[in-house]
């Protein structure tokens, strides 16, 4: 799964919402798939977490809650740890981390925030 950088025509983290005791990270999946239990990596921080749940709207009955989502879907995810994410961060599954990190370091000064275009990703 890859919520790709805006300079490539994709999406990044659009918002982080606080509901009850959950923090929901919202965005649109550009490529691949994500499932409950998958490890994700957040760029530019390089922090990792596992997907606890996939949220969708309208909210389905608990028995019908999505366990996976794919390219083109706008979803929210909750994580198993409280890592800081911000609008504009890039989220991808750990399996595609090297490609996402290389792309950000090479082309995306906007999604790497304080790093310069030529700086390698901090991990």
Q: Could you give all domains of the chain from N- to C-terminal order, each with its CATH number?
A: 2-107 (2.40.30.10)
Task: Return the higher-pLDDT residue of 12 and 67.
Answer: 67
**CA nearest neighbour of 79 among 10, 17, 11, 3:** 17
Are residues 112 and 43 in contact, defined by beta-carbon separation less than 8 angstroms?
yes
Q: Which residues pair with 28 in a beta bridge?
A: 74
DSSP notation for 18-60: EETTEEEEEEE--BSEEETT-EEEEETTTEEEEEEEEE-SSPP
Task: Return the higher-pLDDT residue of 6 and 85.
Answer: 85
CB neighbours (10 Å) of residue 48? 15
Residue with tokens 């390089």: 46
Cβ-Cβ contacts under 8 Å for 49 (sequence gap 6 or more): 39, 40, 42, 79, 80, 81, 83
The whole-model pTM stands at: 0.72
112: pLDDT confidence band, cut at 50, 70 and 90?
very low
Report pLDDT digits (tens) over 18-40.
988 889 999 998 888 889 999 99
């Amino acid at each position: 799964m890859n919520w790709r950088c805006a300079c490539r025509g994709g999406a990044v983290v659009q918002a982080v919402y606080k509901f009850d005791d959950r923090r929901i990270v919202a965005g649109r999946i550009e490529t691949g798939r994500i499932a409950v239990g998958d490890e994700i990596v957040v760029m530019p921080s390089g922090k990792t977490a596992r997907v606890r749940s996939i949220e969708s709207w309208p909210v389905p009955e608990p028995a019908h809650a999505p366990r996976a989502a794919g390219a083109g879907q706008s979803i929210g995810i909750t994580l198993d740890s409280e890592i800081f994410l911000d609008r504009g961060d890039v989220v991808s599954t750990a399996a595609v981390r090297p490609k996402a990190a290389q792309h950000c370091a090479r082309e995306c000064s906007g999604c790497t925030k304080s790093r310069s275009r030529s700086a390698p990703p901090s991990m």
